[in-house]
Structure 1
C-alpha cells in the first residue's frame, strides 16, 4: 500500500518538473547552531505561487484533463493561487469563489496567476458561504471541484514535497516538522515516509483540529477558530487526510500560540531575509519544543508558504513584542490633579518608552482612564517598573494578554 503511494507521489513529482522546478532544501546555519542539529528548511515559499498548494492542484487536474475543462474551488488564499496558476498552465477554465471580505491583494494575485483562464466570484462574508456557492455551482455545471486538502489526488500531489526532500537530501531525514491545517501536506508526507523518521505536527493554538480529531477518533469541528494563521486555521481536518493521520502519536502533535509565531516571522525576515506567512513559520518556531529530541539529528522544517501581506507587518511586530514581554498595555486610573502625570512619568525607567498614550474618559469626578503602551529593551524591566507604579499609589489594569480588550482598544 505504502509502496504504491510512494510510486504515485514520485510520478507526480516527475510530472511537475516541466511546469516548475523543485523547491530548494537549504541547511540553515542559524537554526542548526541554535539547536545543535542539522536543520534544513524546505522552501515552499519559493515556489511560483509562494506556497506548496500548486502541487495538489496540478496533480488533481492532470488526472482528469482532457475529459474535464472546467474547474471550481473556494479559497481566499494559497489554494486559489495554486488553482489559478494551473488553470493557466493547462489552458482550462477555473471559477474561483472567494469571500467578499478577501483582501484586494489576494484577489489581484489570484487574477495575476490565472489571467484570462480564471473567473473570480466574490460570494458571502465568510469562507463557508463561498464554499457552499462553489459546490452548488460545480454540481450544476458538471465542473470538477478542487478541494484544498480533502482529496486523494491532492494529498498525493502534496506528497511530492516529501519526494523532493528525499531526493535533495539523499536519504530520509531523522525528523520532519510539518504545519497542519486541513492535513493535505502532513497526510501526504506521513504516507510517503511512514515510520522511517520522527515527526512533529504543528497547529496554531486557535485551530487545533488535528489534536481534537485524534482525541475523538474522528474529525470534529473546533469552531470558532482564530484566523490569524490563515494558512492553517481550519475548523475541521479533512476526513481523507485524517484517515491517513489517525495512527500518529498524539504526543507528536503540538500547538503554538499565535503571538509566538510572530516572533519567528520577524526573526526570519530581519536575520535571514526570508519572508514567511504565519503558517509558513509554524514548523520553524516548533524547533524550540523538540530541542532535546533533535540534538545531533538531521531535521527538516517545511516552510509551507511566504504569501505575507506587508500591511500586516506592524501587527506582527506588535504581537512578537507582546509575546517576548518587551511591550505591555495597561489602563491607568489617573488622578485629576496637577502633577499627577509627572508623578507617573517618574516611575518609568531609562529604557521604558511610551508608545501610546490615550486619554479615554473620566471614570469618576476626580479620576480619568488612560490607555498606555510601554516598550522596553528587556523583559525583566517590567516587574521593577510595576513595583515603582504600585509604590507611587497608582491603580492600573494590565490588558496586554486580554484578547477581547486588545481587539477594541489596542
Structure 2
C-alpha cells in the first residue's frame, strides 16, 4: 500500500504538466440541506470534462517509459475514455486509433477529434459496443499496438487515484465519507486504494445506475459477472461487467455499501444541479450527489466528498432528462383513455382536469370503433396529488383508462 501511495503521488505531480488540480468546492446549497459539510470534487472541470484523462495519461506515461519504441495506442470508447486518450496522445506525440460505434453522436466524435488533432484516427465500426471492442482488439493485435483499457488496467487505476491525492491535499484533513460513482470500477479502485492507506478512517459509499449494477453483482457473486441486460441511459457508468483488476481492488467492500440510483431519479438531480447551482453534469457525473437524500441521516454533521465524475452532457438530451424527471416525480403521466364516441365526451373529460393540469400529448390510437376511441394522453401538473383527484373523477364518470407511465414496453413504442 505504501508503494501505491507514493506512486500515486508521483503520478499526481506528473499530471500537473497537463492541468491544475480540479477544484474541491464546498457546496453551500447541499450542505445546508443535509446539515453536513458537502464538498464536490469537480472532475467535470478537467480539460476533457471527466476524470478519464488521469488514467489514460498515467497508463501511456508508464508504457512509454517501459517501451520507448511504443508509439501506437488503441482504445474502444464512445465517450469520456476516447476523449481522455485523444488528449493524452496529443500530449505525448504518439499515434492513437480510437474505435467508436457507428451510432456514436456526432458531438462526441467531433470533441474527440478536437482533443486529439492529427495524433489520432477515429474508426467507426459496429452498431453495439461489444462489436466495436472486438474490432479494436483484433486491430490492436494485428498492428502490435498497446490496447488502453478504460478501467481494467493497474496503471489506469493508479492514475485515477490522483483524485484522492488532490482531495486530501485540498481539504487538509481526511473526510468522513467519500461517495464514488462506479461503472467499470477504475475510479473507485484508485480512490479507495489510496485513501484506505492514507486516510484509514474514511468511509465509502459506491453508486451505480440501477440498470447497470455490475459492482454489486460481482460482490454478491464473489467474482465479476456479466449482467444479462443494462440500461444505457447513464452511458458513462452503464457497464455490464466489472473488470478483473478493479474487482480485486474492490472485493473488500460490502454489497450494502453499494447504492443503486434509478435512472429517472438521476435526471431530477441533474436538473437541480443545473438550475440551482449552474453545474452541468452528465448522468454518471450526478450519481454521487443523487444518493445524498438516501444517506441524509447518516451524513448529518459529517464531512462528505462527492466526486462529480463528468460533465460531457449533450443539451439535445435535455428534453428527455426533463421528461424522465417529471415522470419520476409524479408530475407527468401518460394514459390510454377509452373515449366514448358521443358529443360532449371530450368536453366532459376536459372539465375533470384541474387548473394546473396541462395536456402535453393527445393522440387517437384507434378511430374505427363505433362506440369508443382509444386515446393516448399525456398530462403534466404542478402537484403530484392532482393525479389522484383526476383518477377519482374519471372513475366516477365511468371513463375506462390505463396508466402506462411506468410501462417500459408501451412507453418505448408510444411515448
Counterpart for residue 358 of structure 1: 363
In the alignment, the residues of structure 2 paired with residue 94 and residue 173 of structure 1 have an alpha-carbon distance, to the nearest angstrom, of 38
Query: Structure 2 residue aligned with 1:160, among 135, 159, 162?
Result: 162
Instruction: Map residues 95-114 of structure 1 onto 2, 5 A cutoff.
Output: 95-114=97-116
CA deviation profile, 1:153-187 (whole Å, cap 9, x unmatched) = 00000010011000100111110000000000001
In the alignment, the residues of structure 2 paired with residue 39 and residue 366 of structure 1 have an alpha-carbon distance, to the nearest angstrom, of 59
Counterpart for residue 177 of structure 2: 175
SS at match of 2:292: helix
Is there any run of 5+ residues in structure 1 with no aligned partner, and where? none
In the alignment, the residues of structure 2 paired with residue 107 and residue 381 of structure 1 have an alpha-carbon distance, to the nearest angstrom, of 44
Query: Structure 2 residue aligned with 1:142, among 141, 144, 151?
Result: 144
Instruction: Map residues 136-285 of structure 1 onto 2, 5 A cutoff.
Output: 136-194=138-196, 195-285=200-290
SS at match of 2:260: strand
In the alignment, the residues of structure 1 paired with residue 206 and residue 213 of structure 2 have an alpha-carbon distance, to the nearest angstrom, of 11
* TM-score of the two chains, using structure 2 as the length reference: 0.97
CA contact (8 A) 1:230 1:279 kept: yes
Q: In the alignment, does 2:294 pair up with 1:289? A: yes
Q: In the alignment, does 2:316 pair up with 1:311? A: yes
SS at match of 2:150: coil
In the alignment, the residues of structure 2 paired with residue 365 and residue 106 of structure 1 have an alpha-carbon distance, to the nearest angstrom, of 51
* TM-score of the two chains, using structure 1 as the length reference: 0.99
Instruction: Map residues 353-392 of structure 1 onto 2, 5 A cutoff.
Output: 353-362=358-367, 364-392=369-397
CA deviation profile, 1:12-40 (whole Å, cap 9, x unmatched) = 00000021111000000110011110000
CA deviation profile, 1:80-113 (whole Å, cap 9, x unmatched) = 0000001011111000000111111110000000
SS at match of 1:226: coil
Shift of 1:338: 0.7
Shift of 1:364: 3.2
SS at match of 2:112: helix
In the alignment, the residues of structure 1 paired with residue 62 and residue 2 of structure 2 have an alpha-carbon distance, to the nearest angstrom, of 20
Counterpart for residue 38 of structure 2: 39
Shift of 1:223: 2.5
Counterpart for residue 78 of structure 1: 80
In the alignment, the residues of structure 1 paired with residue 212 and residue 377 of structure 2 have an alpha-carbon distance, to the nearest angstrom, of 31
In the alignment, the residues of structure 1 paired with residue 292 and residue 3 of structure 2 have an alpha-carbon distance, to the nearest angstrom, of 32
Find runs of 4+ consecutive structure 1 residues off by over 2 angstroms: 362-365
What's the RMSD between the two structures over aligned residues?
A: 0.8
CA deviation profile, 1:287-342 (whole Å, cap 9, x unmatched) = 11111111100000000000000000000000001111111111111011111100
In the alignment, the residues of structure 1 paired with residue 325 and residue 339 of structure 2 have an alpha-carbon distance, to the nearest angstrom, of 29
Counterpart for residue 96 of structure 2: 94
In the alignment, the residues of structure 1 paired with residue 363 and residue 303 of structure 2 have an alpha-carbon distance, to the nearest angstrom, of 50
SS at match of 1:64: helix
In the alignment, the residues of structure 1 paired with residue 234 and residue 165 of structure 2 have an alpha-carbon distance, to the nearest angstrom, of 26
Shift of 1:363: 6.6
Query: Structure 2 residue aligned with 1:348, among 349, 353, 365?
Result: 353
CA contact (8 A) 1:277 1:305 kept: yes
Q: In the alignment, does 2:337 pair up with 1:332? A: yes
Length, aligned pairs only: 409
In the alignment, the residues of structure 2 paired with residue 363 and residue 34 of structure 1 have an alpha-carbon distance, to the nearest angstrom, of 54
Counterpart for residue 63 of structure 1: 62
Shift of 1:380: 1.4
